[in-house]
Amino acid sequence: MTGYTIVGGGAIGGTIAFHLAETGHDVLLIDADQAHVAAIRRDGLVLRGAGGDRAVPVHAALPGEWDGPLHRVLLCVKAQATAGAAAWIAPRLDPGGYVVSVQNGLNEQLIAEHVGEERVIGAFVNIFADVVEPGIIRDGGPGAFVIGELDGDPGPRVHALVADLAGIGARATGNVTGHLWAKLGFGAMLSATALADAPMADLIDRHRELMHALVAEVFTVAASLGLRLEPFDAFDAQAYVPGAPPAGREEATDRLTAWLRTQPKDRSGIWRDIAVRRRPIEVHDHYREVFARAEAAGVATPLLSAMLARLADVEAGRAAMSENHLVNLSGQAVGISGGRARRSH
């Protein structure tokens, strides 16, 4: 069977590595966490689901233990680790090899700076999972997984990837960028929910105007780039674009929150990084490109900026998690929308 290297064996990478190994593929998992690697070597890679634990043998190594060569690489590290991981991959990647960015955010161009754009494939992933202890991934329910070439229609290597990853629901797309920007809109909602210790669905439901306004800022930037936003799972991106009918937006949020309530994982990975793992979150890297594009297009993003500033304070311990953050941001959203309405008259 086809061999794959997974760089970054956390929630996303670990889940994908498990399914590839379970279906007979040779998998090498590279991760910088010594305890995680040691546990996988000792006990196999474990996926914990509602039916109990399942384990598969996986080759695991620390970056300093492997010199390559590498051929089919799925890069699954956090966004802030992308540059270092891509620099490690580049000298080990064989001439016919490629790197698939299976990450949140917009990391493809950064990877291309290290390996060449023709050797980068994009992917959109919305897998709900968590690393609960070394070597053990908790399955948090199904989610979308879409793979595509950066320059258009999927070719043979994308179709081969989709075939090998069919067990985890992968499918091909000719618009991976539209999926990634749609996720950035949804991700703005999830980032805001990490300001409080409560289920994502409940917080989105209680603070709808804020959530809609956050998504609208991201999607206004996307519109300035001429992007076609794609739906995924229960998130209907077109319902949140500026100018979409308010009733349709409310119905879309009804469907989204109902779906989130069916998921075993009720808090975001951002919340978990702050409250449980106490490690740096990646969303600041996700939205750096959004802010750069917004500035270039003259698009204002005051709510997104304010929300991420509050999240940075919570992350650093300068402020406590509290739903009051969302209440205050909601007031700011009302003020902004009121100001726009007055200007339109």
Cβ(126)–Cβ(262) below 8 Å: no
Report the distance separating Cα 104 and Cα 124, nearest Å.
Answer: 7
Q: Which residues contact 341 (CB under 8 A, 6 or more apart)?
A: none
Q: What are phi and psi of 132, to 5 degrees?
A: -100, -25
Q: What is the pLDDT along the chain (345 residues), one digit of tens a residue?
A: 569 999 999 999 999 999 999 999 999 999 999 999 999 999 999 999 988 999 999 999 999 999 979 999 999 999 999 999 999 999 999 999 999 999 988 999 999 999 999 999 999 998 888 899 999 999 977 789 999 999 888 899 999 999 999 989 999 999 999 999 999 999 999 999 999 999 999 999 999 999 999 999 999 999 999 999 999 999 999 999 999 999 999 999 999 999 999 988 899 989 999 999 898 998 999 999 999 999 999 999 999 999 999 999 999 999 999 999 999 999 998 877 655 544 443
CA dist 273 and 18 (Å) reads: 22
Instruction: Report d(CA 285, CA 132) in Å as an integer.
Output: 24
> In terms of pTM, does the model score above 0.95?
no
Say how many C-beta atoms besides its own lie within 10 A of residue 83's C-beta: 16
Q: d(Cα 261, Cα 196) in Å, to the nearest integer?
A: 17
Quick one: which H or E segment has residue 238?
none
